[in-house]
Structures are given as structure tokens and as C-alpha cells.
Amino acid sequence: MHSRKRTLLLVNPGAGRGEETLAPVIDRFRRSGLQVTLESFEALPALRQDIDRLRSTHDQLVICGGDGSISSAAGAVMESGLPMGILPMGTANDLARTLQIPLELEEAAGVILAGRLRPIDVGTVNGHTFFNIASIGLSTELARRLDARMKRRFGRLSYALTAIQVLLSARRFRARIAANGHSRTVKTYQIAVGNGVHYGGGNVISQAAAIDDGRLDLYSLEMRSLWKLVLMFPAFRAGRHGAWKEVRTARSDAFVIETRRPLPVNADGEIVTTTPARFRTHPGAVSVFVP
């Protein structure tokens, strides 16, 4: 069954776990009959170029890396029409959590070999793809300060350490949010638009969120003091933050966010564009191997 499956294995050597940890997985793939082509990429544009260059000679692709690598490849994966496997090698691995893909690499390889596919949505902001979440404000500053060396040293704790630094210097900004024929101007610390379920190392975008519902979930942090976030933390972990009056929430298949001056937009850990930001969802755009 597997002998005709030409598999393109794309590896980010700079992800949370080193490339050498893949040796047992590659051996298992080959023993199972897969024809494996290994391609390493150092930068995200090279990942997209590899998929475009090699898609016609392969039947499926597997991305080994973190959420930023996987999301940046989404556009090329959509165009290729190939099914995608995930070997989670990042720090947060939120897409793997959303899809219940095991974080242990050999178990994740078993999911790919089992061959069960699930169509999932892809979000875009100004044409840049994301699977989990895109945001303006706090998370963008967090992405700026969170370097690869810190993530390797402290793992998921690096998010908390950097978040404390960001909170100490944060300021609200004015934004106009438009969706479903209506608009509202707000003063906020952050506007986040989610496509999947998990983000930020296990937080939940919304209790109602799903990665295959054709909808985006927005929240806006409109409190006066950010220190109230400490009290809200359990609600964010469970996706219940919309119950707080200081948190605006909305659902739609598209949003437009405008600000007085261009502000950077972070998509799954990578700063990809600036406001004005146009968000939309692409239902069932990519098929992924899942348990």
C-alpha cells in the first residue's frame, strides 16, 4: 500500500528539537515502504519554494517543525493539493494539539502511516496563511522579543517569561473592527483572530472554536489595566474569556481591522504584514493526517 507513496519530508533544523531526532522516524517510514525525500530549509521562503519545486514528483508531504513553519507552508500546500503530515518539532505545537496529533515523533509518524485524512480550514491575513491565530498588539510584541535561543533554553516557559516583559510596557491602541456589515471602534491591548482551537502553548481561542467550521473567532482585550489578565488566565486556558465584560468576542468568516497607523500583524508566531488587516477563512483548504 505504501510503496507508491512518494513522501517529501521537509525539515527545519532550527526547530525546538534537532534534526538528528528524526532518524528513527525516517527509518520507520522507509521500512513501511514509503519513498522518502529529505529536504532541509533554513528560512520560511525556502520551505514554500521546496514545495512548489517538488510537488509534482511526490504524493504527500510531511512538515517537521513548529507552528510558524507549518503555517507559512499552508499556501504552497493548498496550491499543491497534496495531503500534509505533521511531525511536531516546535515549542508550542498548537496545531498538533488542535488536531490531537501526538507530540512524540514516532507516535506522530504512526498517524501518518495510518493514512486517515481530515480537511481543515486555513486562515489568511492580507494573503498570508495561518492555521492557529493571527493578532495585533501584545502577541506581536511577544513574537518580536521571543527568539529561538530563548525557546530552546526555556521551552514553553519562555512564553511566560517574555510575556511578563511585554506586559510591563504595553499600551492600548485604537482600532476599527468590521465584520458582517457592521463596524465598531475600540481601544484595546490586543485583537486576535483565530482559525483553529489552540494558541500560545495551549490556550483555547474559544470554547466554540473548531478548525473545520468555516469560521474565524475574534477577541479584543479592552480592559483599562492589563494586570487583570492574571485573574483571567484560567479563562483563557479554557476558552471562556468571552464571559469577561472587558473581552469583546465575535465570529465571522471575514474581518477587517484598521488602525490609525500601520501596526504589525503576527500570524502563528511570525510577523507577516501590517494593518489594515483583512482576515478571511478558506474552508477545508488542506487535508491533514490525523488520528
pLDDT at 210: 95
Peptide bond into 102 cis (omega under 30): no
Cell of 252: 465571522
Model confidence pLDDT, tens digit, residues 188-198: 999 999 999 99
Q: Do 255 and 179 form a contact (C-beta atoms < 8 A)?
A: yes
Model confidence pLDDT, tens digit, residues 121-159: 999 999 999 999 999 998 777 767 666 565 666 566 666
Which domains can be identified in the chain, with CATH numbers? Answer: 2-115 (3.40.50.10330), 128-284 (2.60.200.40)
pLDDT at 145: 65
In the chain, where does DSSP find H-type helix? 23-31, 44-54, 67-72, 74-80, 94-98, 105-114, 138-145, 148-154, 157-169, 229-238
pLDDT above 90 covers a percentage of the chain that reads: 66
Question: Torsions phi, psi of 140, nearest 5?
Answer: -65, -45
Q: Do 239 and 207 form a contact (C-beta atoms < 8 A)?
A: yes
Highest mean pLDDT among 42-56, 108-122, 198-212, 218-232: 108-122
Task: Please check the confidence at residue 41 and state whether its pLDDT lies above 90.
Answer: no
Residue 1 pLDDT grade (very low, low, confident, very high; cuts 50, 70, 90): very low
Model confidence pLDDT, tens digit, residues 171-185: 899 999 999 999 999
Q: Do 268 and 133 form a contact (C-beta atoms < 8 A)?
A: yes
pLDDT above 70 covers a percentage of the chain that reads: 87
Cell of 40: 532541509
Q: Do 67 and 269 form a contact (C-beta atoms < 8 A)?
A: yes
Task: Please check the confidence at residue 17 and state whether its pLDDT lies above 80.
Answer: no
Task: Please check the confidence at residue 230 and state whether its pLDDT lies above 90.
Answer: no
Q: Do 129 and 267 form a contact (C-beta atoms < 8 A)?
A: yes
Residue 170 pLDDT grade (very low, low, confident, very high; cuts 50, 70, 90): confident
Question: Torsions phi, psi of 24, nearest 5?
Answer: -65, -35
**HSE toward the beta carbon, residue 161, CA cutoff 13 A:** 11
3-state helix, strand, coil in the chain (%, to 5): 35, 35, 30
pLDDT at 151: 60
Its pTM stands at 0.87
